[in-house]
Amino acid sequence: MKIRGRDFLTMREYSSKEIWQILKASKQLKKEASTGRFRPLLKNKSLAMIFQKPSTRTRVSFEVAMRQLGGSALYLSWNELQLGRGETVADTAQVLARYVDGIMARVFTHSDLEELARNADVPVVNGLSDLCHPVQILADLLTIWEKKGELKGLKLTYVGDGNNVCNSLLLGCAMMGVNISVACPERYKPDERFIGWAEEESKLSRATVEITSEPEQAARKADIVYTDVVVSMGQEAERAEREKVFLPKYRVSEDLFKSASKDAIFMHDLPAHRGEEVTNEVIDGPRSVVWDQAENRLHTTKGLLSLII
């Protein structure tokens, strides 16, 4: 199947071979950009970006990506569109598809993305939903590949909430042959469907998938230690309860990081809540790669958009 025109909602729409194709295209575009070369692969193309939640990295990287590829991007806040006054997602999708060549959306409810995709005959990209964050994982995989020289056979340990980022990491790692171990509280496990997909994919890639509640055990011999916030966007009312469950056990501290392999790297999708899920010492330490990881959001977005639009 062709990549062009395909939605990117969970990453499950793609094979591991196609994810490699996106990563390789991203690496090439990154290399060209570093020498000042920008190919207008999306000349005169437009991307609509709908945001129902705040964003720094996703908003800026998609906008700059479109510009560097010779096209343009429109920032559309959900509440400033007629969506905020009750126009349906389906009607909005049909109209936007008459103007633009692709739609990226960051939404609370994943099914809104599916509804957008069903009704827009241009590709729809998930810029984060309550369920998953697949564009983040493209950048993560490129970063790991750059730092470690490979993906297959490495071990990534995710410590914290079994949230949208964790769901996508499970799937992305299993697809690409990265062994993944998730340490999260019993009540905050990743989504069952993503665990199932990861298990299916791991059979093909021969990766291992482990879900435990013990961070130290999970971090043992890890090549990558990854964490994300305790309180995701939209969960602010649960803060007190979550802090009680997660902290300090699921915080990546220097002590926990020591359980990982000697040359382990630290990753975080950002924004970080310093002192909560990670200490300053770790995120600012010599083995943290979070800024390179954030930079790679731009390069992988270019890789993805140049192939699907």
Question: How many residues are given for the chain?
Answer: 309
Q: Which entry of ligand NVA, ligand CP, none binds 164, CB below 5 to 8 A by partner kind?
A: ligand NVA
Is 56 a binder of ligand CP (CB under 6 A)?
Answer: yes
Q: Which is nearer to ligand NVA, 129 or 279 (CB)?
A: 129
Is 64 a binder of ligand CP (CB under 6 A)?
Answer: no
Interactions with ligand NVA, residue window 115-144 (CB under 6 A): 128
Interactions with ligand CP, residue window 127-156 (CB under 6 A): 128, 136
* Cα 168 to Cα 178: distance, rounded to the nearest angstrom: 13
Quick one: CA dihedral 67, 272, 28, 18, positive or negative?
negative
Q: Which entry of ligand NVA, ligand CP, none binds 56, CB below 5 to 8 A by partner kind?
A: ligand CP
Q: Which is nearer to ligand NVA, 202 or 293 (CB)?
A: 293
Size of the site for ligand CP (CB under 6 A): 9
Among 119, 126, 163, 296, binds ligand NVA (CB under 6 A): 163
Q: Which amino acid is at 279?
A: T
Q: Which entry of ligand CP, ligand NVA, none binds 229, CB below 5 to 8 A by partner kind?
A: ligand NVA
- Binding-residue pattern over the window 243 to 262 for ligand CP, x denoting contact by CB under 6 A: --------------------
Q: Which of 74, 107, 195, 174 is nearest to 116 (CA)?
A: 107
**Is residue 224 packed enough to be buried (19+ CB in 10 Å), middle (13-18) or exposed (0-12)?**
buried
Among 112, 161, 269, 277, binds ligand CP (CB under 6 A): 269
Is 195 a binder of ligand NVA (CB under 6 A)?
Answer: no
Among 143, 157, 232, 296, binds ligand NVA (CB under 6 A): 232
* Cα 306 to Cα 40: distance, rounded to the nearest angstrom: 9
Q: What does the buried/exposed string (b/e) look like for 164-198 if buried means 16 or more CB atoms within 10 Å of the residue's CB?
A: bbbbbbbbbbbbbbbbbbbbbeeebebbeebbebb
Among 58, 119, 164, 296, binds ligand CP (CB under 6 A): 58
Q: Which is nearer to ligand NVA, 96 or 267 (CB)?
A: 267
Is 55 a binder of ligand CP (CB under 6 A)?
Answer: yes
- What are the φ and ψ backbone dihedral angles of 78, each rounded to 5 degrees? -45, -50
Residue 227 Cβ vs ligand CP, minimum distance, rounded to whole Å: 13
* Cα 133 to Cα 145: distance, rounded to the nearest angstrom: 19
Q: Which is nearer to ligand NVA, 60 or 233 (CB)?
A: 233
Is 165 a binder of ligand NVA (CB under 6 A)?
Answer: yes
Q: Read off the tokens for 266.
A: 């630290």
* Binding residues for ligand NVA (CB under 6 A): 128, 163-165, 228-229, 232-233, 269
* Binding residues for ligand CP (CB under 6 A): 55-58, 128, 136, 269-271
